[in-house]
Structures are given as structure tokens and as C-alpha cells.
Amino acid sequence: MGLKIDELKEKNIDLSKPVVLYEEENHTVAWVGSSEESIFRCNAYLISAGDKNVLVDPGGIQHFEQVRKRVRELLGSESRITHIISHHQDPDVAGSIPNWLKVNPEIEIITTPRTKVLLPYYGFDGNSVKWLEVSSLDDTLLELEDSSVLVFLSSPFLHFPDAFVTYDSRAKLLFSGDIFAAIQKKWELVVRDFEKHKLEMMYFHVYYMASNKALKYFVDKVKPFEIDAIIPQHGSIIPKEFVKEAFSFLENLKCGIDLLYEESPVKDIINDLF
């Protein structure tokens, strides 16, 4: 029972199946994909509590079948998905939303106003879908049956101007979207070597994240929360032992427009990557 992430570090995990990350009475969090042979590997997650089954960043169209299979294994039927969180509108995050709406047209999509404008371009009618709009005031919550909440916190310019992240108050997990994402030659579900992982996160953040100012603003906001693991959309999960270091890595990183006016490390990064 409880958080299983530390146990998972030591195991050989069957990634063709869903992987339970947290399990307590009436509250489960699982990794449900998407596995692919790529340095830019995507993750989707499922939070289940009572009558709510919340799919987090379901992935691209090509991820749909495998995510659906894992969800079905956990819930019995994929039509039991009640909510989708789309932390921003990129195709690797949200391309499969029309497929999910076909499975259950009653799904409520949780996202920010500016993401809401863009998502229907994947090919669905935004006027006939249920939305929960995430306010930039950080006061939007989804109450779960076990009296815990999902808290939605804006993360401006990381990397979309109206991006956000999700905090699960029961499991104490931070679903960070593209923040804390990593580009990895060899993916593993949970980080073991954090020194190596910092480099892998750097590859992604220098290109995608707007500036150090935006990173600092975000870290200041989420630091007060009790966080037992950071759960990103790309790359490995960051367990509790590295959470503090991950925050300090982020608040000190120069990225995006910071690098326009200084000697850029991008060439070194590319050499190192390939």
C-alpha cells in the first residue's frame, strides 16, 4: 500500500502492462504508457478515486491503442474514463483526445482557457464537450471521493504561455507535464542516477523552456507542497530522494531566451546527444 515508486526502482518492470505507482484505499495512480523506442519518450498516467478516473496527458494518436489497453486492464473498460487533464496542447500530449471522446463523449477535459481554444483543432467540436477551465489564479480544484483534491497550478511559459501542472493531495505527486522532462538514450521508469538525469533534463529544458525567470517563478510556487515524486510527461519519474535537488537544478538553469545573448551550450548538447 502507499507509494510504490522506490520499490519500482529495484525491479525489472513489465512495461507492456500498467504500472501502479501509488495505491491506497479508494485512490490509485498508475503509469499507463506510452512506451516507444525513442529518446523523446512520452508518459500517460491514470488517477482513480471513487467514481472519477482521470487520464493525465493521454498522448498522441499513435499512443492511443496502447494507452487504451492499459486503461482497460485497470478499469475493465476504457469508457470509465471521466476526465482528461491536458497540461498543454502539444500533439504528444493531446493528439489522442478525439479518440477518447469517441470512447466516452461525456469525458470532461481539464485545461486552461488558451489551451481550450487550440484543442478542438485536433478534430472535435469544442462546443459539445464538457470543460473544466483551470484558472491562472491557481484556485481550480477537482474534488475526489476520498476527500482528496487535484490542485491545478499554472506554470506560465513552461513551455506554453498558459501551461499548468497538477498536484495530487493524497498521493503527494506532482504531475509536471513537460517540466522536468528528459531526453534519454536509455529510458527507465524511475530515476536512479540523478547526476546523469540532470544532463538529460538539460537537453530538453534549454530548448523548450522560456527563461530562468519562468522556472524560478514556478519553483517558488510548488516548493511549499509536500511532494513525494515528480511525474513528468517525458522521461523518468523523479523519486522523493531527488525532489529537492530537482528544484534547485531548475531554479538555477539558464534556458530559452537567457541563451540568446550568451554563448549557447546547444552545440555541446547536440554533440553529446548523438
Grid cell listed for 4: 510504490
User: Which of 90, 162, 168, 200 lies at the binding interface for Fe ion (CB under 5 A)?
Assistant: 90
When the beta carbons of 92 and 258 are compared against Fe ion, the nearer one is: 92
Complex with Fe ion: residue 75 or 174, whichever CB lies closer: 174
The three three-digit cell numbers of residue 109, written as one number: 477535459
Give every CB contact of residue 129 below 8 A, 6+ residues apart in sequence: 101, 105, 107, 109, 120
- The residue type found at 166 is T
**Binding marks (x or -) toward Fe ion, 65..84, rule CB under 5 A?**
--------------------
- List the one residue from 55, 81, 92, 202 that touches Fe ion (CB under 5 A): 92
Site string for Fe ion, 180-219 (x = CB under 5 A): ----------------------------------------
What is the C-alpha separation between 155 and 138, in angstroms, rounded? 10
Is residue 118 within 8 A of residue 89, CB to CB? The reply is: yes
Q: Nearest approach, Cβ of 91 to Fe ion (angstroms)? A: 9
Question: Is residue 69 within 8 Å of 159, Cβ to Cβ?
Answer: no
Minimum CB separation of residue 59 from Fe ion in Å reads 9
Residue 57 binds Fe ion (CB under 5 A) = no
d(CA 87, CA 71): 19
Contact 22, 143 (CB under 8 A): no
The residue (of 144 and 209) whose beta carbon lies closer to Fe ion is 209
The cell for 262 is 550568451
Please list every residue from 140 through 179 that binds Fe ion, using CB under 5 A. Answer: 178
Using the contact rule CB under 5 A, the part of the chain among 2-10, 19-27, 88-96, 101-109 near Fe ion is: 88-96
| Amino acid at residue number 270 | I
- Interface residues with Fe ion (CB under 5 A) are 90, 92, 178, 233
